């Protein structure tokens, strides 16, 4: 007889409880453990759904744009991705790690079902468009006149005596050219108040068109000895105001006013007025578009710089206040079309009509021009051509536009070529090339860049 009947009964009961508990656990876990209840399966699936996926974002080039929307997302969640460009770049597309295009929109929604590594791709915005050049000679000047696409160009001989110099016209942005005249072309000028008025010097003559080059008339002026006067430059507001031309010839040097309708001419300023011929040998002349009574003229050397307030009938010397060095004024005058008091020559700038001048080596005729009330210049940073703007007349400069023709390579060795009414033309060598070309930039694009600063 068991000495402990109660303990035996208890052990039997415990065995039963353990057996039942094990059976319950097996049933709860799906018999052999190969399947579970619907509730348990749903719980497991829910756990998987809440496991995070990572959306990693990048930009190429790195400094070309910014992005947002990356991070951790649940399976099936929507991610709103956004790409924004930095100045001078445009958005191209989003690509995945294998280079497949995911979207061509800068803003789009992505359904996240796994980890993603997405790249926002950018490229330089096209800022410069190529200008076709005349088929012969070496281009020396390019001017826009009249209707869009109408260009005039002058060429010089490649080798002495090849007779490839002359005047050319294109009516389709340089796609094709016609030669209008042979010979040396010292200047091409467009009326500052009339883009259909074109004045061109050819050898010892000048030709004038009042209808943007459709029809031309030829003229010349003779000195006291009866010899034709060779002119260095011409300028006008409209034909009705008259055409101004300057000469540095020993005989006949000075400033002339021509009536293009009856071909009469007046010698407005000459050696008689200056006392010495050197002060009358003028190389450049500018008529203000904002006030055609204001005229500036400079000599071929640093002998004289004058201003007229009455349309050229009387002149005042500005040379003492300028104190030029080297060939400063002989290279020309850059007058703000909107303000007759703002102008510069090589290395000096005035904002009070030439009364006072501020020396500034960063302001040069070869690379600097006016856009509205701002001074804009070509520059290069790390062999990439850019445009910079100064809103304090050359005291400081800000990058406003990267030069690119759409190839994404940019330019180096940039030099200004010619400033038209609504465009600026420059000669440059694209990066990766050894051949220079002529390109144009619309002022509207430059203005947009300035307004975004």
- For residue 327, the model assigns a pLDDT of 53
Alpha helices, H only, 68-129: none
Instruction: Answer for the pair 199, 155: CB distance below 8 angstroms, yes or no.
Output: no
Query: If you classify domain 186-365 with CATH, what class do you get?
Result: mainly beta
Cβ atoms within 10 Å of 9's Cβ, excluding its own: 11
Pairing verdict, β 398-402 and 411-419:
unpaired
What pLDDT sits at residue 6? Answer: 32
Domains of the chain: which residue ranges?
Answer: 13-40, 53-124, 126-157+366-453, 186-365
Query: Tens place of pLDDT for every residue, the chain, 453 residues?
Result: 344 333 333 344 333 333 333 343 333 344 343 444 555 555 545 544 566 999 999 999 888 889 999 999 999 999 999 999 876 678 999 999 999 999 999 999 999 999 999 999 998 778 888 899 998 888 999 999 888 889 999 999 988 888 889 999 999 989 999 999 999 999 999 999 999 999 999 988 999 999 999 999 999 999 888 999 999 999 999 999 999 999 999 889 999 999 999 889 999 999 999 999 999 999 999 999 999 999 999 998 888 999 999 999 999 999 887 865 555 787 899 999 999 999 999 889 999 999 999 988 889 888 999 999 999 999 988 778 899 999 999 999 999 988 888 777 788 778 888 888 888 999 888 888 888 889 999 898 899 889 888
pTM of the model as a whole: 0.75
DSSP state of 72: E
Cβ contacts of 5-10, under 8 Å, gap ≥ 24: none
Can you tell me which residue has the tokens 């006030």? 291
Using DSSP's 3-state secondary structure scheme, residue 85 falls into strand
Q: How far is CA 210 from CA 98, 195, 351, 442, in A?
A: 61, 9, 33, 25
Q: What is the pLDDT of residue 5?
A: 37
Q: Which residues contact 311 (CB under 8 A, 6 or more apart)?
A: 241, 242, 292, 293, 295
**Which contiguous run of DSSP H or E holds residue 17?**
helix 5-28
- pLDDT in the model for residue 87: 66
Amino acid 32: pLDDT: 41
Q: Do you find a cis peptide bond into 128, omega within 30 degrees of 0?
A: no
From CA 294, how far away is CA 318, in angstroms rounded? 13
Using alpha carbons, list the distances in angstroms from residue 286 to 93, 289, 319, 349.
49, 9, 16, 16
Select from 162, 196, 210 the least CA-distant residue to 182.
Answer: 162
Q: DSSP string covering 162-199, please?
A: ----EEEEESSTTSS-EEEEES---EEEEETTEEEEEE
**What is the CB neighbour count within 10 angstroms for residue 42?**
11
């Amino acid at each position: 007889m068991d000495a402990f009947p109660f303990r035996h009964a208890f052990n039997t009961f415990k065995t039963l409880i353990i057996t039942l508990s094990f059976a319950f656990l097996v049933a709860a876990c799906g018999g052999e453990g190969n399947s579970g209840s619907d509730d348990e399966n749903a719980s497991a699936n829910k756990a998987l759904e809440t496991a995070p996926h990572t959306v990693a974002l990048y930009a190429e080039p790195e400094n070309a744009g910014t992005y947002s929307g990356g991070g951790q997302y649940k399976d099936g969640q929507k991610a709103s991705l956004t790409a924004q460009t930095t100045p001078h770049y445009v958005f191209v597309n989003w690509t995945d790690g294998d280079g497949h295009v995911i979207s061509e929109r800068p803003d789009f929604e992505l359904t996240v079902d796994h980890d993603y590594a997405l790249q926002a791709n950018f490229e330089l915005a096209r800022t410069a468009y190529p200008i076709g050049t005349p088929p012969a000679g070496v281009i020396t000047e390019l001017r826009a006149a009249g209707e869009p696409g109408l260009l005039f160009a002058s060429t010089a001989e490649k080798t002495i005596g090849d007779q490839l110099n002359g005047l050319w016209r294109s009516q389709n942005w340089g796609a094709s050219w016609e030669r209008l005249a042979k010979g040396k072309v010292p200047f091409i000028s467009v009326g500052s108040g009339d883009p259909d008025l074109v004045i061109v010097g050819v050898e010892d003559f000048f030709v004038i068109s009042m209808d943007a080059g459709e029809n031309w008339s030829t003229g010349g002026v003779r000195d006291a000895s009866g010899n034709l006067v060779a002119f260095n430059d011409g300028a006008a507001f409209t034909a009705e105001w008259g055409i101004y031309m300057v000469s540095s010839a020993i005989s006949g040097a000075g400033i002339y006013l021509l009536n293009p309708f009856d071909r009469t001419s007046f010698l407005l300023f000459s050696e008689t007025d200056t006392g010495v011929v050197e002060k009358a040998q003028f190389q450049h002349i500018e008529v203000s578009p904002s006030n055609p009574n204001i005229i500036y003229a400079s000599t071929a050397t640093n002998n004289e710089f004058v201003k007229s307030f009455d349309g050229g009938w009387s002149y005042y010397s500005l040379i003492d206040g300028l104190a030029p060095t080297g060939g400063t004024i002989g290279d020309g005058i850059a007058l703000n079309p909107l303000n007759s008091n703002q102008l510069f020559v090589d290395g000096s700038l005035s904002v009070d009509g030439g009364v006072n001048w501020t020396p500034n080596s960063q302001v040069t005729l070869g690379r600097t021009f006016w856009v509205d009330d701002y001074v804009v210049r070509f520059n290069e940073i790390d062999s990439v051509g850019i445009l910079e703007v100064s809103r304090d007349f050359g005291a400081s400069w800000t990058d406003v536009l990267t030069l690119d023709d759409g190839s994404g390579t940019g330019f180096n060795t940039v030099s200004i070529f010619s400033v038209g009414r609504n465009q600026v033309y420059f000669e440059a060598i694209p990066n990766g090339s050894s051949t220079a070309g002529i390109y144009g930039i619309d002022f509207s694009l430059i203005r947009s860049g300035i307004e975004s600063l």
